[in-house]
Amino acid sequence: MLKGMTNLFETWSLDREIVLVRLFNHPRDKVFAAWTNPEALAEWYGPSGLSIKTHEADIREGGVWRFDMVGMFEGREQHFPNLMRFLEIVPNERIIMDYGTPDPDDPDRFRMMVTFDEQSNGKTVLTMRQLHPSRDRRQAVIGFGAVEYGLQTLDGLTAWLDGRAFA
């Protein structure tokens, strides 16, 4: 657990939560693989208009994905540093991570849980839950577009999966 985070997420509180859900026309193992393959993640992850530059990708329990979201703003390239620390990975079921900046004392770091529920028709329901450190922080990220950016990220995953030829 990161310094200062021991008690932050002991209870999952609805007033600090953001939940996004998407149905994918692909089996659970394919959707899960898109989250655990570093090359795949860099192709689809993030809001539209931003690309991913990976600095480190060790996608396993205890590992990290350190990356920048990169985009053009006001005529110049901007880099937004991100860090995911993987706390739990249960193949084809769930991924739990802490997500924030590379700053070890990032006060805005949040917990994210992604679950993969395969339907009887071979489709997968993906649920992405974010738990923010406070109600005010949740409101702030909603205010700057986190829900829309999350939906754009899931759109990117949809397009990536739909464009793949699976054997």
Please give the Cα distance from 46 to 58 (Å, whole number): 18
Please report the beta strands in 14-93, taking only residues with DSSP state E, as ranges in sequence order: 17-24, 51-57, 64-73, 76-90
120 within a domain of the structure (yes/no): yes
9 within a domain of the structure (yes/no): no
Q: How many CB atoms lie within 10 A of CB 118?
A: 18
Beta bridge partners of 98: 85, 111
Coil, helix or strand at residue 11: coil
Specify the number of domains making up the chain: 1
82 within a domain of the structure (yes/no): yes
Tokens of 25: 């026309």
| Domain residue limits at 54 | 16-162
**Which residue in the block uniquely carries the two structure tokens 């030829």?**
165
2 within a domain of the structure (yes/no): no
Query: Alpha-carbon torsion 11, 17, 23, 29, what sign?
Result: negative
52 within a domain of the structure (yes/no): yes
The pLDDT value recorded for residue 165 is 52
The pLDDT value recorded for residue 12 is 63
Which of 4-8, 42-46, 54-58, 127-131 has the least mean pLDDT? 4-8
113 within a domain of the structure (yes/no): yes
pTM of the model: 0.88
104 within a domain of the structure (yes/no): yes
Q: What is the CATH number of the domain that holds 82?
A: 3.30.530.20
7 within a domain of the structure (yes/no): no
In tens, the pLDDT along 92-142 reads: 999 999 999 999 999 999 999 999 999 999 999 999 999 999 999 999 999
Please give the Cα distance from 16 to 77 (Å, whole number): 32
Which of 2-11, 19-28, 65-74 has the least mean pLDDT? 2-11
